[in-house]
Amino acid sequence: MSYSLKDIAVALGCEAAGAIDILIEGVREPAEAGPAHLALAMKPQFAETLPKGRARAALLWAGADWQAMGLEAAIFAQRPRFALSGLSQMMDPGPEFAEGVHPTAVIDPSAEIGIGASIGAFTVIGPRAVIGADAMIGPHCFVGAGVHLGEGALLHPQVTLAHGVRIGARFIGHSGARVGADGFSFVTPEKSGAERARETMGDQGETAAQPWSRIHSLGAVRIGDDVEIGANACIDRGTVRDTMIGSGTKIDNLVQVGHNCIIGRDCLLCGQSALAGSVKTGNNCVFGGQTGIADNLLIGDNVITGGGSKVLSNVPSGRVMLGYPATKMDIQTESYKAIRRLPRLLREVAALKKAVSKQGESD
C-alpha cells in the first residue's frame, strides 16, 4: 500500500512542503532509503546520512532546511518521534492471519464469538469464553473457560489466557505471553527459614527442614483497555482477589507480574522487570529494564526507576529511583561517584599513616 506525502502529512497533523504528490511505500533510515521511501531524518545527526541513500522525501524536525539536504519534499513535525507513532501505524501491514474460523480450531459450543472475529489454526476456545467483535486470534492460542476478551483484540501465536481472565478492548498479546498462571504461593507448617531470616535480618534460628504446601490461586486477572503484553511475559492470577492491570499500560518482553499486583493506568514495564506479589503501583509509572520490586510495596504515581534498580521499600509519587537498593537517583549517583573515589582515598590515607608513623619514629 502506498500513500501520497500529502495524505501522510494530513493524517499526522503535520506540515509538508515540496512535491507532496510523491507516493510513499514505506519508511527507512536515511542511509537505506530509496526513492519510494520516507527517510526518518528526525534529528540533524540523522539527516547527515541522507546522502548515503536515495530518498526523495524525509520526515524532519520543524524548521529544517529540506532543500539544502537535496530533498524534493519533506514532512515537518514538532515532535518527530511522536509523529513516528502514527506513521508506523499507517505503514504496518499487521499479521497476515486468515479471516474467519480455521477448520482446525477447537471452539466449545458454549463460547460466544463476536462479529468479525477470526480464529487461527489449532487454537482452543474454552467453555463460556466470550470473544469480542473484530478480535484476531492467531494460531496455537489457548483461551480458557470463562475468559472475556474485548473487541479489536489481537493475540499473536501461542498466547495463553487462562480461565476466568477478563481483558478489555484493543488488547495486544505477543507470542508466548501467559496471562493467568497460578501465583507462586507456598507455605510451610511452621515458620520457614526464609520467614525467620526476614524477621531477624539474617538469623534462621533452629529451623528444621519442612515441605512446601501450595496456596491455590482462586482469583483471576483483570486487564483494562488498550493494554499490550510482550513476548513471553507472565501475569499471575490473584490468590483470592484478582491481579489487575490498568488501561493503557504496556508490558515488555519477559516481564513477570506476581499474584495480587495492582498496576495503574498508562504504566510502562520494560524488559525483564519483575514485580513480586501484592505490589500496588500508581499511574504513569515507568520501570526500566530488569527493575525488581519486592512484595507488598506501594509505588506512587509517576515513579520512574532506572534499569537494574531493586526497590526494597515504598516509593512516594514523582520520585526517580536508581540502584540496589534503589534510592533517589541523585543520591545514588553521588554514592557511586564516592565509591569510585574510594581506592584513591585509601591510598591517600595509607600515605598519611605512613608519614605520621615516620614522624613519630623521628620524634
Q: How many domains are there within the chain? A: 2
| Claim: this prediction has a pTM higher than 0.85 | yes
Q: pLDDT over 70 for what percent of the chain?
A: 99
- pLDDT at position 362: 67
Q: Could you say which DSSP state residue 229 is in?
A: E
Q: Looking at the domain assignment, is residue 315 inside a domain? A: no
- pLDDT at position 263: 98
Q: Looking at the domain assignment, is residue 292 inside a domain? A: no
Q: Looking at the domain assignment, is residue 214 inside a domain? A: no
| Section 322-344 average pLDDT | 92
Q: Which residues pair with 287 in a beta bridge?
A: 269, 305
Q: Looking at the domain assignment, is residue 20 inside a domain? A: yes
Distances (CA, A) of 343 to 339, 347, 352: 8, 6, 14
Q: What residues make up the domain containing 353? A: 328-362
Cα atoms found within 13 Å of the Cα of residue 217, Cβ hemisphere only? 24
Residues 19, 1 contacting (CB under 8 angstroms): no
Q: Looking at the domain assignment, is residue 32 inside a domain? A: yes
| Amino acid identity for residue 42 in this structure | M
Q: Looking at the domain assignment, is residue 287 inside a domain? A: no
What CATH code is carried by the domain that includes residue 11?
Answer: 3.40.1390.10
Q: Looking at the domain assignment, is residue 251 inside a domain? A: no
Asked if 259 is an active-site residue, the reply is: yes
Domain end point (choices 62, 91, 120)? 91
- pLDDT at position 133: 98
pLDDT tens-digit readout, 290-319: 999 999 999 999 999 999 999 999 999 999
pLDDT at 94 over 90: no
pLDDT tens-digit readout, 141-174: 999 999 999 999 999 999 999 999 999 999 999 9
pLDDT tens-digit readout, 7-54: 999 999 999 999 999 999 999 999 999 999 999 999 999 999 999 999
Q: To the nearest whole number, what is the mean pLDDT of the chain?
A: 95
Q: Looking at the domain assignment, is residue 36 inside a domain? A: yes
Q: How far apart are CA 223 and CA 261, in angstroms?
A: 12
Distances (CA, A) of 206 to 147, 192, 209, 286: 46, 10, 10, 42
Residues in the chain: 363
Domain end point (choices 32, 60, 91)? 91
- pLDDT at position 209: 87
- pLDDT at position 1: 80
- pLDDT at position 154: 98
Strands 166-167 and 148-149: parallel
Domain end point (choices 69, 91, 113)? 91
Please identify which of the residues 37, 148, 174, 259 carries the catalytic annotation: 259
- pLDDT at position 363: 62
